[in-house]
Amino acid sequence: MNTLTDTLTVTFKLNSKPVALAVPPLTTLRSALREHLHLHATKAGCGQGGCGSCTVLVNGEPTLSCLLPVALVEGQEVTTLEGISSYGSLHPLQEAFYEHFAAQCGYCTSGMILTAKALLERNPHPSREEIAEALSGNMCRCTGYLPIVEAIEDAARKMEEGQ
């Protein structure tokens, strides 16, 4: 059992690299990423679990980092948008979002791309309906979603061709 007072230490795998940090006990994964590790791709959109802007992957599954105390990812694998491509290159989903004008203000984009990544890993050939369903926890006020859905369709096609 862990009894943690004032600050706790947590170690986990972040974008395939081990990381350790000491934070106040109830610090969320979102705050840990943004304020302690200074990875800013993950956005703070609501803190309520309602908008999906803070979505990251925990063990490959879309997770709301604003609602998850970082202490609970001890030993787990966390992927953020920073972790899906290296500097100067783009993941096929990033490429497709760029090509399809699927990011306008860009605030929901990180959550959208990571949610889509988890979807395509589970279901490489999703229908439009399945894509839209997978995105139903990720809100966007700018695009009207269609460019995002089209980008994901396109990325799925290209990822298959690339294999």
For other proteins, the closer of residues 49 and 124 by Cβ is: 49
What's the closest the beta carbon of residue 106 comes to other proteins, in angstroms? 3
Q: Which long-range contacts (CB under 8 A, 24 or more apart) does 35-43 make?
A: 39/14, 39/80, 39/82, 41/80, 41/81, 41/82, 41/110, 42/80, 42/81, 42/110, 42/111, 43/107, 43/108, 43/110, 43/111
What's the closest the beta carbon of residue 147 comes to other proteins, in angstroms? 7
What's the closest the beta carbon of residue 41 comes to other proteins, in angstroms? 2
For other proteins, the closer of residues 125 and 146 by Cβ is: 146
For other proteins, the closer of residues 77 and 99 by Cβ is: 99
Q: Work out the number of other CB atoms within 10 angstroms of the CB of residue 146.
A: 12
